[in-house]
Amino acid sequence: MNEFIVNATAQQRLQASLSSIFSVVALLLVAVGIYGMVAYWVKQRRREIGVRMALGAGAFDILKMVILQGMRHVLLGLILGLAVSVALTRWMGSAVFGLSPKDPITFLMVALLVLGVALVACYLPAWRATKVNPSTALRNE
């Protein structure tokens, strides 16, 4: 009986495993992309950050500025992605067993997961931006 069950569910288990692997890889790509975008933005604006710090901006102000700039793009992408995914649910209805194609809890949990990963990806370059020495940033560029 166990062999019959294993053979009967092999295709579904393979699809579930592949979906899980692809979703983890996609989440890692999101994190690396956001990190790269924010790190590049911080590097391009290093002189501005140095001027802000020289004029009295604290580390928290710089951290907040960089994270808000990065998260603004993430929120725009998340809103567009959610809208497109809701529009495409009728074609994906049969792909996931046991879930409604328009399950709001799933959409909410995925959105929160992406926001959490994006926040960490934005925080790392923002934290590095707070370590900019104002005199070095103004002198070298």
Arithmetic mean of pLDDT, 32-48 = 92
Asked whether 132 and 65 are in contact (CB, 8 A), the reply is: no
Mean pLDDT of 77-94: 83
Helix, strand, or coil here: 55? coil
Radius of gyration of the chain (CA): 21
Q: Is the pLDDT of residue 40 over 80?
A: yes
Supply the pTM of this predicted model: 0.79
What pLDDT is stored for residue 6 in this prediction?
72
Measure the CA–CA gap between 3 and 43, rounded to whole angstroms: 58
The conformation of residue 101, written as its DSSP 8-state character, comes to: T
Mean pLDDT score of the chain: 86
Whether the pLDDT of residue 141 is over 60: the answer is no
The average pLDDT across 85-114 equals 78
Range in 30-39, 47-56, 100-109, 132-141 the model is least confident about: 132-141
Per the CB < 8 A criterion, the answer to whether 113 and 78 are in contact is no
**In this structure, what DSSP letter does residue 99 have?**
S
Taking 90 as the threshold, does the pLDDT of residue 97 lie above it?
no
What pLDDT is stored for residue 87 in this prediction?
84
Q: What is the pLDDT of residues 7-26, one digit of tens each?
A: 777 888 888 889 899 999 99
pLDDT of residue 140: 67
Buried b (16+ CB within 10 A) or exposed e, 87-125: eeeeeeeeeeeeeebeeeeeeeebbeebeebbeebbbeb
